[in-house]
Chain A
Amino acid sequence: GQNIDQPTEMTATEGAIVQINCTYQTSGFNGLFWYQQHAGEAPTFLSYNVLDGLEEKGRFSSFLSRSKGYSYLLLKELQMKDSASYLCAVRDSNYQLIWGAGTKLIIKP
């Protein structure tokens, strides 16, 4: 079966760095997405990786290793507004997105 694993919850301190991991087992691979979802709101797109390596976008970076079925989202200089759930999703061979359950990130002052 297809599976996306990510930690349920993480806690970090304002101003620090946090890494959220995602491992996947899917039928085929056509890209990996990270979305941010604040409580009670819709998911919003953060990053996309289709080739191995690091994609940097401001305070957020995302890394992909296709051979290991692994990605991480790195958040630097954490702000209170970064408190949200972070969703990892992989596009499979049918071009459908398979979603992880999300990692709830709690930022403490």
Chain B
Amino acid sequence: IAGITQAPTSQILAAGRRMTLRCTQDMRHNAMYWYRQDLGLGLRLIHYSNTAGTTGKGEVPDGYSVSRANTDDFPLTLASAVPSQTSVYFCASSDRAGGQETQYFGPGTRLLVL
């Protein structure tokens, strides 16, 4: 059981380029999340999906888009990358069946936009 996988592990991207970060989970969790983590700041929510077919905006959604065509996959797209999007990106998932709903994280994607 892999849990949550993310790809690529790291990427250097030229400003203005389009990039999709991939996230796949095999835990059949209904909720999935994308965060960015920057030095000195807490994790900030970019977008989330409570169930397949639905998505919502988090705290910092501008410049990013997501889709949730099925339960397992939740890709994050940067339409036209800018240097301020240099960050570590974490995908997470949780079971929204009620109660604790602990979030479990993927290994992260380290993105450098030049």
Chain B residues within an 8 Å CB radius of A33: 102-103
Contact call A99/B42, Cβ cutoff below 8 A: yes
* A96 to B100 CA separation, bound complex (whole angstroms): 12
A-B contact count (CB 8 A): 42
* A17 to B107 CA separation, bound complex (whole angstroms): 29
Closest residue on chain A to residue B40 by CB atoms: A101
Chain B residues within an 8 Å CB radius of A4: 42
Mark out the residues of chain B between 38 and 97 whose CB falls within 8 Å of any chain A CB in the assembled complex: 40-45, 48, 58, 90
Q: A43-B90, A48-B100, A96-B48 are in contact. Are A101 and B42 (CB under 8 A)?
A: yes
* A42 to B92 CA separation, bound complex (whole angstroms): 10
Contact call A87/B48, Cβ cutoff below 8 A: no
Contact call A102/B100, Cβ cutoff below 8 A: no
Chain B residues within an 8 Å CB radius of A44: 105
Q: A31-B100, A96-B48 are in contact. Are A42 and B43 (CB under 8 A)?
A: no
Chain B residues within an 8 Å CB radius of A50: 100
Q: B-contacting residues of A (Cβ < 8 Å)?
A: 4, 31, 33, 41-45, 48, 50, 87, 89, 91, 95-102
Q: A-contacting residues of B (Cβ < 8 Å)?
A: 40-45, 48, 58, 90, 100-108
